[in-house]
Structure 1
Amino acid sequence: MYNAETISKVLKGELLQHTGAPEIEHIVLDSRKLNFAETSLFIPLVSARRNAHQFIEELYEKGVSNFIVSESIDLQKYPNANVILVKDTLQALHALVAWHRHHFHFPVIGVTGSNGKTIVKEWLYQLLEKDHNIVRSPKSYNSQTGVPLSVWQMKPENDLAIFEAGISQPGEMVNLEKLIKPTIGIFTNIGEAHSEGFLNIRQKINEKLILFMKSDVLIYPKDYLALNECVLNFHNQVGKRETDKAIQLFSWSRKTDADLRIISCDKNTNHTRIDALYKGEAMHINIPFVDEGSIENAINCWALMLYLEIPHATIIDRMDRLGNIAMRLELRQGINNSSIINDSYNSDMGSLSIALEFLQQQRQHPNKTVILSDILQSGKSDFSLYEEVAALLEQKGIQKLVGIGRNISREKRIFQQVLGLKSSFYQSTEEFIQQFNPQDFVQETILVKGARVFQFERIGKLLEHKAHQTILEIDLSAIAHNITQYQALLKPGTKLMGMVKAFSYGSGSFEIANLLQFHGVDYLAVAYADEGVDLRRAGITMPIMVMNPEPSTFDAILQWNLEPEIYSMHLLNRFEEEVRASNKVNYPIHLKLDTGMHRLGFEKKDIPELISQLKEHSAFHVKSIFSHLAASEDPEMDEFTRRQGSLFREMSADLQKALGYPIIRHISNSAGIHRHPELQFDMVRLGIGMYGVDNSADMQAKLKNVSTLKTTVAQVKKLAVGETVGYGGKWTAKVPSVIATVRIGYADGYNRCLSNGKGQMLIHGKLAPVAGVIAMDMLMLDVTHIPEVKVGDVVTVFGEDLPVQQLAAWADTIPYEILTGISQRVKRIYFQE
């Protein structure tokens, strides 16, 4: 273990204050992700949007006593802290972790590429865990901050490491190479994903190859022409620069000669047999997957195992047992008004910490439960391991633990000593299922976290609310990404209001609000008071503006500390009466100005009377003044938008001057943020852009898809020429046809105007037009050209490969209407990558 004095010397920093030598075991970069305060070192990173030095006081109060800083702080506030001053905290993080990496000499596998990095890493863990004590990247921690946190996990008890590395622009991989220093390299593939920061595909490949400068071997697919050429050039260049032996290349190919020559890939219902030649010997593996991505990932893993000289009988056995990888944490509706976080594919301390952080974000239920299996291959004694788990559960405020497995059950006394933690234990998943009582889980958020061998997906099925097979998947990580893209365009100090009205544009209420609260958004906006009340009941504490307050809801607004938009003298007077009756003063309100939209708001002629009324009474404190842009996305309306901005500037200035205190001003929406930066003022309102939709092609390219609407095939029928489909027989088979009935209709939000071929859906990656008139609960697709369609197949209504904008165009409407029109009976599933 290290201490502040040692780390100061390593970094050649200035030890501003040294009050003791506590052991440092954990690095904290995010103040919200603190687990073990006493043994943590906080390194505040500085970016264009946020300076994390502001969180030092908060962490000190929580018990952290070790800090690396890059700017002066008031040491008198932190009398018991060790403080190291450096020039740049990110560089210090990298230097510290590189020094830590230097202490270990066991094999390290480095994985990079455009796709498949996390799958290959996790599959290698499955394939090799019986032979090694492995440390690996948690989830997809492959960035400039994720990699150091991954490498920092290396411990003496490990004998193999697997780390993935991802980059978004030139100059980044040289930093990651110093941290990972892989002895074995795997380049999974190359594609156009995340290419925005590069001149061309070869520049991206060459940047990624820097990871393998000091590696003994590089495993790669030869069939990517640009990748093969760059690898061969890289091999020649490294050989010339290095005095020791050159890097060994291990290639595989489905098209030409290679170290591992793939001869055939034969797919059946749910398995693929892959035949190959290796060193002149014919061999094969079977994998329980049939998609091309899984086949490619499996071959990369196969090549690595051949390089390690693992007996081929062992390879065959383990490849056939490969399991699905949970690439995301899913939040689903559970029984008895509960919420379920399903993470039932692996269990280790790194992924447990991540899952508990996600659990902690959820505020919709006061009680939090963890169902946890034995943690396997930890390298620690059971006592010390479960002591650490118990401390983590206590720190996260977990109320209930269900432990499943012989090891965790044996150490149950550790958990029984945790105050406020109710615990129960079962020897196996089967025992828990046999004794399962649904009434034991009521109005709580439940994390299901288990090693793959425990088959916790069976528990997930018991706990999940049974619902309509049509589901709307919402990617919380994509929302966070999209927020970041808009934040990067904001001027320093500009606040952000997140629009969660209309059930968060169809995406959900408290689930989205929880995410925005966790990511430090400044304000929320809802349409009506009852939406705000629901958020308060779900544990949302941040300020909430109500955009359409009604006099009948004023009592609820005051009771739940909501902040109404005031847009008329009538509404102002009515709300003033309610505020005075409740004996409140300086109650926060938001003034809506009409600058040209002519929907709601005070006009310029109303300002003198408004000022007089506000100055005469002390009932209100104006938190913000705002207006609404009518056509910020339309270049042809830019002059109108500029006039709106000018009028808003004038009217809000008159109000600010008269009231005499600082007031937040905001007029800009999603499109306005990037099209009219001069109108950002003090705050912007982010709505549809947060959910992955923007009218600008340049901005759209930076956003991630958030919502995916899926359904399934209920039945497949063959029709003869002349037979009709649906109500009124509006569709007639002109040739022998195949029709698939799918479980979605206009009651789910799929508009009837999309009938008879106007709308299409994706099935097996191909578009299938709607056949006939859409019914309330069902519709039919013409799948004559997709012969592999069968009952139970997944159908994509809109998503990554069929954007909601396209569906809106077919329906002659806008994406807003499609998203907000998804029925509440459609099950929402939330996930975080």
Structure 2
Amino acid sequence: MLLRRAWAEINLDHVAFNIEQIRSILPPYTQIMAVIKSNAYGHGDRRIAQLLVELGVTRFAVSNLDEAIALRHYGIIGDILILGATPPEGFGQLAAYKITQTVFSPEYAEMLNQYGLDYQLRFQVHIKIDTGMHRIGFSYDDLDAMKKIFAYQGMIIKGVFTHFSVADQLNLADRRYTQMQVDRFDTCLFQLRDFPFGMTHAQNSAGIVNYRDYTYDLVRPGVLMFGVPSGEIQRDLELKPAMELKSKVAMVKQVSIGAEIGYGRDFTAERDMRIATIPIGYGDGYPRSVSGKGARVLINGQYAQLVGKVCMDQLMVDVTDIDDVQVGDTVILVGEDQGKSISLASLSELAGTITNELLCRISARVPREYVQQVKQTQETQELVKFEHFLRNS
């Protein structure tokens, strides 16, 4: 009997290891602001946030108001920054849940300030500066607009930040572009030196690793915490992938030469074959786009290649050359088994996307199961709290 059709196994010890690796390359004054948007990149925001608190992380960033409120409901009491826009109808909840909002344009800042004045509120905000991403943010050369909001009585400035657009690329042109963004940001900070702008931050996951000389008060690791950074990074930082995606064999059947397998009859058996059906598909987040591209899974420590199209709820693999495959055998779609592995990076390359997207695609019907062998002792927790006190004193 198949009690679990598919699941994501999250190794919390690996997340803790990655956090310590990140801290090892930071100056002692630089704190982590953990980015756990999109359900902590598919790893489960509730359990990941709780673990990070155990590890001494007290600052978090999310994409939107709903994600921020969810963290409050989980008992997270640290600072939470919303990186994107909150619509005016959500302004009251920003105050009610003590959530910090990004302001990214003169118009948005004025609107938030006016709400604060109307309801006698004072919002905590970070100023977003656009230094070259051209997404959201005050233009780096519009210093008058930025200086103006320091006088607003409906908000208090707690930080200023930017975002690197090509920190995950190591070619010369992109490195120069990132340097240009750094120079623009530093110039803004210098021009704002007489204003109380609070904490500074710029580095995303790739920026933490590739641009270690440019750390500010905070860094914003996201997917780096889960050991699967996208793009190009310097490889001297050891990381451990936190997630493995698993399923179980649902059926094994014999097909004859010439059998046409799957939707569209895309695969034709060139010999008598044994086909195993695995109960996971694109409805679970496994990418349909890898169909016909040589994607593989691991069964009993052996590679088995996909045949036919990935379906919504199932996929098929060739197990002709794997001995004794049985219903209920564990299938590794991402992860390791008996010395062999399938990385998320290799799967994302076949899918024509990035690791971040594949992680975020894993749907809610795939349960997250957490593995943790190294428990935080009371002594360790007290030490982490003491180190956090020193960083903030």
The Cα of 1:493 is off from its aligned counterpart by 0.7
Match of 1:666 in 2: 201
Match of 2:355 in 1: 815
The Cα of 1:543 is off from its aligned counterpart by 0.5
Q: 1:382-426: CA deviations, max 9, x gaps?
A: xxxxxxxxxxxxxxxxxxxxxxxxxxxxxxxxxxxxxxxxxxxxx
Match of 1:571 in 2: 108
Alpha-carbon distance in structure 1 between the residues aligned to 2:3 and 2:154: 48
Aligned positions of 1:396-475 closer than 5 A: 468-475=4-11
Alpha-carbon distance in structure 2 between the residues aligned to 1:708 and 1:574: 44
Aligned positions of 1:40-79 closer than 5 A: none
Match of 1:494 in 2: 30
> Residue 510 of structure 1: SS of its match in structure 2?
helix
Do structure 1's residue 711 and structure 2's residue 247 form an aligned pair? Answer: yes
> Residue 753 of structure 1: SS of its match in structure 2?
helix
The Cα of 1:550 is off from its aligned counterpart by 2.2
Assess if the C-alpha contact under 8 Å between 1:498 and 1:525 holds in 2: yes
Do structure 1's residue 584 and structure 2's residue 124 form an aligned pair? Answer: no
Match of 2:57 in 1: 521
Do structure 1's residue 638 and structure 2's residue 178 form an aligned pair? Answer: no
Assess if the C-alpha contact under 8 Å between 1:467 and 1:827 holds in 2: no
Assess if the C-alpha contact under 8 Å between 2:7 and 2:366 holds in 1: yes
Match of 1:384 in 2: none
Aligned positions of 1:471-620 closer than 5 A: 471-551=7-87, 552-585=89-122, 587-615=123-151, 617-620=152-155
CA RMSD of aligned residues (A): 1.6
The Cα of 1:727 is off from its aligned counterpart by 1.2
The 10-residue stretch of structure 1 (480-489 or 551-560) with the greater mean CA deviation from structure 2: 551-560
Match of 2:365 in 1: 825
Alpha-carbon distance in structure 2 between the residues aligned to 1:544 and 1:691: 20
The Cα of 1:509 is off from its aligned counterpart by 1.1
Match of 1:224 in 2: none
Assess if the C-alpha contact under 8 Å between 1:510 and 1:540 holds in 2: no
Alpha-carbon distance in structure 2 between the residues aligned to 1:599 and 1:510: 29
Do structure 1's residue 686 and structure 2's residue 226 form an aligned pair? Answer: no
Q: 1:345-380: CA deviations, max 9, x gaps?
A: xxxxxxxxxxxxxxxxxxxxxxxxxxxxxxxxxxxx
Alpha-carbon distance in structure 2 between the residues aligned to 1:816 and 1:662: 31
Q: 1:412-469: CA deviations, max 9, x gaps?
A: xxxxxxxxxxxxxxxxxxxxxxxxxxxxxxxxxxxxxxxxxxxxxxxxxxxxxx9752
Match of 1:777 in 2: 313
The 10-residue stretch of structure 1 (731-740 or 691-700) with the greater mean CA deviation from structure 2: 691-700
Alpha-carbon distance in structure 2 between the residues aligned to 1:553 and 1:763: 48
Which one-letter code corresponds to 1:830 in the other structure?
A: Y
The Cα of 1:733 is off from its aligned counterpart by 0.7
Q: 1:179-228: CA deviations, max 9, x gaps?
A: xxxxxxxxxxxxxxxxxxxxxxxxxxxxxxxxxxxxxxxxxxxxxxxxxx
> Residue 686 of structure 1: SS of its match in structure 2?
coil
> Residue 187 of structure 2: SS of its match in structure 1?
helix
Assess if the C-alpha contact under 8 Å between 1:759 and 1:811 holds in 2: no
The Cα of 1:570 is off from its aligned counterpart by 1.6
> Residue 555 of structure 1: SS of its match in structure 2?
helix
The Cα of 1:680 is off from its aligned counterpart by 0.5
> Residue 799 of structure 1: SS of its match in structure 2?
strand
Structure 1 segments, 4+ long, off by >4 Å, are none
> Residue 625 of structure 1: SS of its match in structure 2?
strand
Equivalences, count = 363
Q: 1:592-612: CA deviations, max 9, x gaps?
A: 000011111100332202212
Assess if the C-alpha contact under 8 Å between 1:623 and 1:663 holds in 2: yes
Task: State the TM-score, normalized to the length of structure 1.
Answer: 0.43
Alpha-carbon distance in structure 1 between the residues aligned to 2:234 and 2:11: 21
Which one-letter code corresponds to 2:40 in the other structure?
A: S
Aligned positions of 1:61-460 closer than 5 A: none
**Cα separation, partners in 2 of 1:575 and 1:467, compared to 1, 3 Å:** farther
Which one-letter code corresponds to 2:215 in the other structure?
A: Q
Task: State the TM-score, normalized to the length of structure 2.
Answer: 0.89
> Residue 179 of structure 2: SS of its match in structure 1?
helix
Alpha-carbon distance in structure 2 between the residues aligned to 1:582 and 1:699: 51
The Cα of 1:705 is off from its aligned counterpart by 1.7
Assess if the C-alpha contact under 8 Å between 1:468 and 1:826 holds in 2: no
Assess if the C-alpha contact under 8 Å between 1:546 and 1:564 holds in 2: yes
Assess if the C-alpha contact under 8 Å between 2:112 and 2:154 holds in 1: no
> Residue 250 of structure 2: SS of its match in structure 1?
strand
Do structure 1's residue 761 and structure 2's residue 319 form an aligned pair? Answer: no
Assess if the C-alpha contact under 8 Å between 1:756 and 1:769 holds in 2: no
> Residue 192 of structure 2: SS of its match in structure 1?
helix
Assess if the C-alpha contact under 8 Å between 2:164 and 2:203 holds in 1: yes
Which one-letter code corresponds to 1:676 in the other structure?
A: Y
Aligned with residue 802 of structure 1, among 342, 350, 369: 342
Structure of greater relative contact order (alpha carbons < 8 Å, 6+ residues apart): 2
Aligned with residue 190 of structure 2, among 637, 645, 653: 653
Match of 1:27 in 2: none
> Residue 805 of structure 1: SS of its match in structure 2?
helix
Alpha-carbon distance in structure 2 between the residues aligned to 1:557 and 1:538: 16
> Residue 478 of structure 1: SS of its match in structure 2?
helix
Which one-letter code corresponds to 1:562 in the other structure?
A: I
Alpha-carbon distance in structure 2 between the residues aligned to 1:639 and 1:467: 53
Which one-letter code corresponds to 1:620 in the other structure?
A: M
> Residue 678 of structure 1: SS of its match in structure 2?
helix
Alpha-carbon distance in structure 1 between the residues aligned to 2:289 and 2:169: 27
Assess if the C-alpha contact under 8 Å between 2:95 and 2:121 holds in 1: no
